[in-house]
Structure 1
Amino acid sequence: MAQAPDLLTRAPRLYLASASPRRRELLTQIGLAHTVLQVPAPPGEDEPQHAGETAAHYVRRTARDKAERGRLWMAAQQLAPLPVLAADTTVILQGAVLGKPADRTDAMHMLARLSGASHQVHTAVALWHQGRLYEDVSISEVRMCDLSADDIARYCDSGEPYGKAGAYGIQGLAGTFIAHLAGSYTGVMGLPLFETSKLLRRIGILLP
């Protein structure tokens, strides 16, 4: 999604500690001028889950970790001090985290597990501002339709599953797979706008 010309000329009101194009699109959708922090990511597609850590705790921790890395990067680069926003999205099936697929085989396996089943999507939001951390989480229930092996293969051929938690993007072709959604569409996309706007209001950022 291209930014509107007036949005491009506004001074940024926060830093987004995420390279996700979907999160940038959602902030642009609500007219919030922002700058993406080019924070070096840890090795691997996903941060490891700690021993004994539940999926629900994992997603909140990883969002906090991203916000903290963004805050430290802002300070190290001597950037103008602005709030730092981060988020993390996790697909949870029967208590297990389904992260970003490592390859086609992994993507096909994840989609086969999600086929015909209900799962949760947790998206945690973390916001650093003036030495304080503000956080919230969106939890959605999603049910996929039954997917045939051909459905899964064609979807993987599209290239869409890669780089996405649970190997699917609801805003793309996989939207045709979603039989039921209870919760936040933007949360499943990667940045729940309701929870995010609540945090922004708490630090005095009012949306247009």
Structure 2
Amino acid sequence: MKQLILASGSPRRKMFFERLGLDFRQVPSRYEEDMTLDLSPSELVMELSRRKAFEVASREDGVVVACDTMVFFDDKRLGKPKDKEDCINMLKILSGRDHQVISGLTVMAGDKVVTDHETTEVHFRVLSDEEIERYAKTDEPYDKAGSYAIQGSASVFIDHVNGSYTNIVGLPVPLLLDMLKRFH
């Protein structure tokens, strides 16, 4: 297989690649996300992952892997919080409710392009205002879609998960491994 290229600057995605023992280079995509696209949640993350992959493939030779992960509540996108107030509002929305974490994943080498998506259902337990306020005072939620990191101190907010845990962290590993098999 050609050189594997992770088209992301995410430390969490890099960690998964390292834990899988993959020989790769990390080359963050320069693609600026177009949030004006009128697509369903799954179509949106797949299209954004494709665009990220194509941008990196335009300047790097190898098997390019790009991912885009978003949090949705009632088909409404919950991005990274802008500030503490935004973080608190998002966590109040998620408290006691289900939401979806959806990742679009693209693997490409030359003319061969494979894109798919993974959806994980997450249910938060009911959170107190004090818990939300305490968490919002930490640095943890501010670079995370939906204002939380399941692998961090927000793990105690989760009542149950239906689907891929690694998808919630930012990379659907089982899906990635299945897709990479097509490039050997």
TM exceeding 0.5: yes
What secondary structure sits across from 2:62 in the alignment?
coil
Query: Residue in 1 aligned with 2:26?
Result: 36
Conserved? CA contact 2:6–2:28, under 8 Å: no
Q: Using the alignment, how far apart are the partners of 1:39 and 1:54 within structure 2?
A: 23
2:125 paired with 1:145: yes
Aligned partner of 1:53 in structure 2 is 39
Could you tell me how far apart the structure 1 residues matched to 2:40 and 2:110 are? Answer: 30
**Mapped pair 1:20 → 2:10:** yes
SS at match of 2:21: coil
Shift, 1:130, TM fit: 2.1
Deviations 1:82-110 (A, max 9, x none): 11101011111011111111111111111
Letter of the 2:86 partner, please give it. Answer: D
* Aligned residue in 2 for 1:101: 81
Deviation at 1:56, TM superposition (A): 2.1
Q: Please, which of 149, 159, 162 is the counterpart of residue 169 of structure 1?
A: 149
- Matched with 1:87 is 67
Aligned match of 2:52: 66
Aligned residue for 1:158, secondary structure, equals coil
C-alpha contact 2:123 2:159 (8 A) present in aligned 1: yes
Mean Cα displacement is larger for which, 64-73 or 84-93?
64-73
Aligned residues: 183
- In structure 2, the CA distance between the partners of 1:121 and 1:38, relative to structure 1 (3 Å rule), is closer
Q: Retained in 2: the 8 A contact 1:49–1:58?
A: no
CA distance in 1, matches of 2:28, 2:74: 34
Give the drift of 1:163: 1.3
Q: Percent identity?
A: 35
Give structure 1 stretches of 5+ with no counterpart. Answer: 1-11, 75-80
Q: Indicate the RMSD between aligned Cα atoms, in angstroms.
A: 1.4
When normalised by structure 1's length, the TM-score is 0.83
* Local SS of the residue matching 1:161: helix
Cα pair 2:99 2:122 within 8 Å, conserved:
yes
